[in-house]
Amino acid sequence: MVRTIVAALILCAACSDSGDDPEPRACSEVELECADHACVPLEQACDGSEQCPDGSDEGGRICAICADDQEACEDGGCIAASELCDGTPQCGDASDEDGAFCADYCPGDLCDDGSCIEEGRLCDGSPECPDGSDEDGDFCADYCPESYCDDGTCIPAVQVCDGTPQCPDLSDEDPEMCGA
């Protein structure tokens, strides 16, 4: 229920209590913003009786009751928190892979397709993004903090020309570059 109230507070950024207001007023911290921007008291949300003219106070993510290790879908279902923004829709409405949501949610690095991968996995020679964007050569050439392989993989500068190939394409031990 705490998660529901927090979600309701987040949703209450710029709502109004009537359609006559020239400027919408922000809902107070004890109000929920309806989908049509009207405001209703939080204690009346998810009570089985529609207070919002559009009924948005009685369904979906707002009323979902999920376990601590789960997150709510827009359609009211729950999925494991670890499955959010992983490139594979688990919510029936695919809201767990929404690009705008994932851009804000992603605790790691965001792929071009909007999915999220663990931080530190960009340009490591192993594609984690479903679209492979984390290993794009042009991107990795700009991203790598030290040295990179011809295929875009990042490696520490001390591993270039050290006699042991670390790059999947062996470019870190290129005889022309290493002077051998």
Same fold, 2-63 and 123-175: yes
What pLDDT score does 3 carry?
A: 44
Other C-beta atoms lying within 10 Å of the C-beta of residue 65: 12
Q: How many helices (H) and strands (E) does the chain have?
A: 4, 8
CA proximity to 98, closest of 117, 83, 109, 84: 84
For residues 36 and 27, give the distance between their C-alpha atoms in angstroms, rounded to a whole number.
Answer: 13
Q: Where are the domains of the chain?
A: 2-63, 123-175
For 58-82, the pLDDT digits (tens) are 888 888 889 999 999 988 899 998 8
Q: How confident is the model at residue 162 (pLDDT cuts 50, 70, 90)?
A: very high
Domain 123-175 adopts which CATH fold? Low-density Lipoprotein Receptor (4.10.400)
Specify the pTM: 0.49
Whether the pLDDT of residue 1 is over 70: the answer is: no
Which amino acid does the sequence have at 22? P
Supply the pLDDT for residue 28.
93
* CATH, domain range 2-63: 4.10.400.10
pLDDT score of 17 more than 70: no
Band of pLDDT at residue 124, cut at 50, 70 and 90:
confident
Rg over alpha carbons for the chain, rounded to the nearest Å, is: 24
